Chains A and B, each alone.
Chain A
């Protein structure tokens, strides 16, 4: 259940995503801010832009919105950040020689979602950002 207690943080389904072109992590670019490539930034932009319309899939219960009502390290706005755990998309800190681990974390989905549908719309939103 996404939010069983009003005054305690809820249960989420934080989803870490990276994108590969063959063996190469397409989100990694050496020397870029946060080592995040243009593809990575566009992918995040796609998720942010399409956030409202995919939320009924990623957060499908009435109770889901008790979790997304501000606080409890859950997002209430379509934002991105490196460390802020109230952001919808977080970019985990790059660790040296861990190019393959470069990834983003989507923090809005919760445990009540259908993961097949949720992954489909999250990836579609991100890819729309890359392709458009």
Chain B
């Protein structure tokens, strides 16, 4: 019985574990305290498909803001926006291989 647990499979090795555990636990506890109903997986919510979507979702989140505090919340968003902004401008080897021969 002591071994009964859930496994959250989304986090990755790049996360800050202090912040990651904080938001995972906060999300779970919000479910407990708000008596969320566990539905079947018929129409699952898609996870963000890139960092930009993940940032947009976090920007709107009262839960994350409250859990991390205003300063950390804003700092993480600033940091992640800067990372995405640099990344989105990079022309990749894939693009050169696929598009340059065509046009």
Residues of A within 8 A of B (CB): 1, 3-6, 61-63, 65-66, 69-70, 111-112
Contacts and interface: CB of A to CB of B under 8 A. Distances in A.
A112 B103 CA distance: 7
Nearest to B103: A1
B99 interface: yes
Interface of B: 85, 88-91, 95-96, 99-100, 102-103
Interface of A: prevailing SS: loop
Interface of B: prevailing SS: loop
Closest CB pairs A-B (n = 7): A63-B95, A69-B89, A1-B99, A6-B91, A69-B88, A1-B103, A63-B99
Given A4-B100, A70-B85, A111-B103, 10 more contacts: A1-B96, A1-B99, A1-B100, A6-B90, A61-B95, A61-B99, A63-B91, A63-B99, A66-B89, A69-B85
